[in-house]
Structure 1
Amino acid sequence: MGFILPSSAKAQANLSDGTYTVPVTLLKANSSSTSIANMFFTQTAAVKVTGSNYQIQLQTSGANYITSMTVGGQSVNEDKSGSNATLTVNLTSPADLVPVTFGLQVPIMGTMQQSAQFQFKWANATRTQDSTTAPAANSSSSSSAATPAATSSSSSSASSSSSLSSVSSSQAPTREPNMVPSKETKTTKSTKTTKKAANTWKYVVLKSNSNAKSIANKYYTHAASVKKVNKHYRVLLKVSYKKALKLGSKAVKPISINGYKPHNVKYGSTAKTYTLTYTFNISSTSKLKKIIKGKIHVTVPYANISQTFGIRFKFSHAKAKATVKAAKATKHQTAALVTASQLKAPTASSSAKLPQTGDGNDTMTSIIGAVLGSSLLFTWGVNHEIN
């Protein structure tokens, strides 16, 4: 059975020419219940009446989510400024209940269509100006009402810098002047030992049925901590999203990962973001060379969405920062060896003939070879330890 509109909805608006402020509420489709998305709209509309034509202006603070919109079957003109927008549509003698269709870009979920309905209380319309003047005063008032949302949007953009604030960084030890090669080597080995304790693997989040990136990829941090625990490896994933999205602290719930229930599920927050971390176990890091399947449950209150969908993780080994530091250490060590007292450059008088070989070129080649040989051996040792 279809939804039967109340008698008030069957009545057409019947206002004389002029401009009005009209109370309006966004309801769920085929229901008298208020939609959660109502919080993104101001509760009055500015309406200019000319004969049977009603030019309706609505203010929204959810413009970032709206990709398209029709009201009463008519396309809506959007004047957008950040997350705020003025929506204008022309209707002919509209009813109290007017159907609305949204094209939405929903965080984590992606693009979808949603339906609702605006309830206009024409009987409570208040005349604001005569028909020859545009409803500027009301537009100003509506714009003012949308200002807090703009502030929220600005705070949202500033939060990206703090989403990974929980990840600490260590400062490399200060290098002493004229440090001898043996101390260089000890410092490098200490760094390698730390990296072996917990490696970092990069990853992207793919759709369940293709190699295209999932919308969820925007909310995972793309850096997984992989740590050996007893005879297996523990992989930690992290999700971070802005509080300004109004999704709530537990919008994402991991359901499964690599065929099992996730472990160590923890929810947290920073000043600007909500976070989620969880882990799964693998027998060997070689398992990460294959696609890892998972499922997450997503709740988007204002779009009335509560759904589980599949995702896939594609991992790649991140280059350890220790390798870069080791390369720099090698460079310094090479320079130290070249300038060491035991490697004195031949003087002009001995450049033609040297006592041991009688050939200056062969001796210099031997010296350079010794230096490079030490460097290559040192570099191989570092890479061998890391890999």
Structure 2
Amino acid sequence: MPPASVITRLEGLGIRVGGSPVIDVTMAGARPDVYGPVLADLLTDTGNDVVICVVGSSAQFRPDVAVQPIIEQGGGDKPLAVFCVPEAGDSLKPLAEAGLAGFRTPESCADAVSAYLDWTGPVEAPVPVLLPSVKALLKAGGGVRLDEAASLKVFEALGIPCTPRHVLAAGDAPPPDLIYPVAAKVLSADITHKTEAGGVVLDIPDAASLKDASAEIFKNVEKAQPKADIAGVLVQQMQSGLAEVLVGYRLDAVAGPVVVLGVGGVLTEIYNDAAVRAAPVDMETAQEMIAEVRGLATICGYRGQAQGEMTSLAAAVVAVSALALADGVVEAEINPLIVKAKGQGKDKGVSAVDGLVLMAEKSE
């Protein structure tokens, strides 16, 4: 709502101002002796964070009158932006010379103001420690793209709980200690989309069914991608929880190392709901990222719904972000990371089901 001084000042000119943050001073209020004091009141008012002046046709035909009161009142501590309608170069030039932000379109003005208000100052980067075991696993990965078993070993070494797993070669009998139902997935660093290649079978109820499923996976994948190097079938106990999330790391060509948190599962690209930060991050930043992802509101206690083990999720984000300290990691991703209900404890609050690590190609 406009300050009382503005309401009183304009009422004296017969201009009624309501409670809207948009104030139309009309032609009667466009005179410098009115516009200037009104703008001064708005700039000193503690009830707003920024003032945007929208100048009409006078910006084009009377630039000396249109922007001079703005220039005289500008330059203080409060942000002041000016949008000229229509585009008026003769008004924008003196604004620029006075060090004031002038804009030619409403979109550019809105984007600039939004970016300014959302800006946060630089903070001291956290300094996590990358364990020697992580570096050793990355070095021993054996290629540019680590297969899922090798990738999950890296994430485990980072301190992220991973689903227990076994690797079966063609014709191997399932181990007797498996807890059913299980999922079976082709294990190959050459296959990005295992489901599309017929390389995934879920909810396998017993050992006999697992043996049949493994044979079917080898058959499907050899037909779909005959040149792929298949290391076996990865078998994992089926997992359930409150949500599936994606936690990723990328060495961006422009931004540098970044960590990503978003809604996970097979529909990740459709939702396009993610938070991104420069890596590495600390727990506080990871919790801020969780709060930004709209799809995770349902496991943050929204409207009395079951709350997830969010401390464990934040710890996983921090752990993945530590890959910024590793040499040669181009990309890494856990999708899905299953988030369990609150009360499971840090060691059981999340479980990584599927993982990927990409290394930079070594120069000859």
Which TM-score bucket, shorter chain as reference? Answer: under 0.3
Q: Decide which structure has greater helix share.
A: 2
What TM-score comes out, normalization by structure 1 length?
Answer: 0.22
Which structure would you say has the larger Rg? Answer: 1
What TM-score comes out, normalization by structure 2 length?
Answer: 0.23
Q: Decide which structure has greater strand share.
A: 1
